[in-house]
Structure 1
Amino acid sequence: MEKLKKGPKKKKISAKKKEERIGYMKELKKINKDINSEQKIVDEINSKINNIDANIFLGYHDIKILKLELKNKEIEFEENKSRQLLSSRKIENTINKYVLKCYESFLKTLEENEIQLHDKFKTFQVEEKRHLSDKEYNKLITDSNVNHINKMSSMVLSQNEIINELNKRFIKNLKIIRENYSKKIDMEREENDKKRQKIIFDLQKEKNENIKKILTEYNEKIINIQNYFKLILDDQLEMIYQLEDEKLSKRKNYFSKKKNLEDLKRNICSNKKILHQLEKDISSLQANAVDYEQLKINLKRIKEKRNRQQNVLTDLKLETNVKKLLFEKISKQYEEVYNQNRFKLYDRLQKILLENYFLETKIKLQNETLEINTIELNKWKECVDPEQNEVINKALTTMFQKFEILKKEVEDLVDKNEQNKENYEAMMHLNYFSNDDLDVLKRENI
């Protein structure tokens, strides 16, 4: 609560510091405007000096342009040369294609003749098979074969002579065609060389003339510039000295203002750190106030849940006490009634088992609710910083103590339930009844 009361004082301090900060920012803006105006004056002086330098170097730029034009013309000459080479290669390719066509036609004729011979040989074999039985026919066949062989030999000789003549003619034609095309190529090369030499000679003439013109023009320009600078040096030296003095004075003012700016920036940085710390404290106090209210609401809800659970536990305790008393009475009356009413005792034991089963289910549900509450408390612990809020710490410690007491009571109930089970199993063992035989739920499942 003391921290919350100190909040408005800090807000007043932060408002004063914000006003000081705004005043510093206005002074900074004024200083920046003065610096920008001084820099504009310096840039104007530099631009005047650069314009004088640019007029001197214009001649160098024109010489570069002429060199680029010469390079472009050399590139065009090389392109024309490459086109001529491509044309000569195309002519050679056409000659080779013509030779290949002639050779292919010759091969086709040979293939056709071979196919005809093969067909005749097949027909001859078929006729031989038909007329093997006739001896007279065999004689005729031998004569016909001899005649056929003679004819074939004469045909082969005639074909060889024709092939040789064709080869000779083809070779002669090839030589003539090659000589003609070589003469044409040489003529075209000589013409192109003459054209190239003329173009180079014309380009050199143009280049020399352009260089002479440029040199004369630039000599005149240089003389004019020298005269101009002489006039400037004679008439305007005082202006230059004045500008330099103004420049030095403005630089001094600039550096002095720079130092003042740096001092202001340092002061602003120191004030910024203090403001950041104050803003952090304010935000932390606001967050703590919100968290404190939320924790109050959550504690009320947890108390209501705890009261409900305590009521449930009291009911369960009463039920367990009643059942303990019943169990004691039953254990005393068991020996007397067992001999008289065995079947009645068997039914009563089944009812007790069912009641114990329901009690176990209730205890499990209560354990689950306790686990859920512990998880919620752990989440609230993670959200809240225990070092900042002492009131919340005290409330949480009391709540944890109460939850531990509830846990202990539930554990005691579980232990008592287990003891009841053990006593029940011992009694059933003494009476020679197994626990599985008496369990109604297991029997129904079977």
Structure 2
Amino acid sequence: MDYDRPLQAENMIEIGIAMHRPSEPKGVIFYNPGGTDAGIVLAWQIALDQTKIFEGLLDHDLLFMDVRGTYSSNPLNVSLDLFQTLFGPYPTTPNEYTVFQEASAIVVQSWIDLSSPPGIIAHVSTREVVNDYEMVRKALGYAKINFLGASYGSFRAQQYAFNFPDQVGHFVLDAVTPHALSLSESALDSIAASNRALERADAYCQSDVQCPFHTQERGSLIKAFHTLVRIAENVSSLESVGVRQTVSAALLEGPSGLPDFLAISLGLHDALSGNFSFFESSTSLTVADVVAMPLECSDQSESGLTFESFNLSLAEGLRHDTSGIGMAFAWQIQLWCSAWPYSFSEKTPLLVQKSMLLVTSDFDDGSPTEWTTFGWRQAPKSGLVVRHGDGHVSFNLADAPSNNLTKSFLRTGILPSTSDDFSVTVYPPGGVREPISDPYQVPFRV
């Protein structure tokens, strides 16, 4: 459990693993589908039973592994009633910031008290997780591993490549969460991504007759959202947060894996007519929804954070907020983790001198495309694939035009040739990325 101590009976945890093993495997692919959004059973079903996203790679060993602290891997636990106290508007005064810290301390103590074995919460960071990967590699006898890291899985993939370069095979980082971004940098990128995502929803309305704003001028959906936020603010700041959170979640991912633009447009139109069902249909919070908090606290906390530094970041971010969503996970995680009592990783760049493939989509509202560009600069021998479209994580979309490039690299380790068309642009190592596509110019396709 604690890699700073000898491995022995009282210092071990269980890690859940599932594998696909062909009769004559041509290699191994470790698959980390994200932060903690899919346990091994769900990942297995998604990958092999539903979307068939691994077609063409089934001659490899495919290994799905729980991140420690989740699902079957000594899962963390917390009081959801206590966790609910962390939801609300961002603090605007030193006193409100102190209240958040006090609530954070109570929630962290709940994680400590309810999780098993005792002390595991202090050992769930990426530092430990990549050592788990290395232990599994050794136990199964692989000389090198190939790795598909999606979303927060890319954060762990880069850490593994940095720590264990001799064991790196073919690594794909899809929808990159990079190392070394500060709170302010991360938040600004998230605000820019939200701006683009809402413009994409508006562009959808211009192109699809099903949208109730289709006959109105460009920007009509954005205006409708701003109107609804103002109405909600007149009720309460908490109501306004709920409206913005609902739209933000729908812009991230809908049932198809892509943003649910039609549901957003219909929901906004109905709400302005008095029907708020779209904003009242959220499901109840579960521990699985929030179990990433301790993992992210260990990785993303920032030393020396005060109300003044937080408020400066907030003010700068909101100054660039044209969407009106005004939310960034970087701010949220810093508040949730403001009373984190354990050590955390310093925000240090990880220069990886291996040939990897980084993949992003222009309008990803979960991992802003700027994050992938930032990570690409820390991997000077790596190629970059930019998919011109929507959705968080390309590989989970069965028909994404970038997937053939991803699969080819996982099989061969050969970077794709430089190219540029309406669906995908490929950059060579050391290239210069062109400006992000205009949200109103990119066609609506996977």
| TM-score, structure 2 normalization | 0.15
Higher relative contact order (CA 8 A, sep 6+): 1
Instruction: Kindly indicate which of the two structures has a greater share of residues assigned to helix.
Output: 1
Instruction: Kindly indicate which of the two structures has a greater share of residues assigned to strand.
Output: 2
| TM-score, structure 1 normalization | 0.15
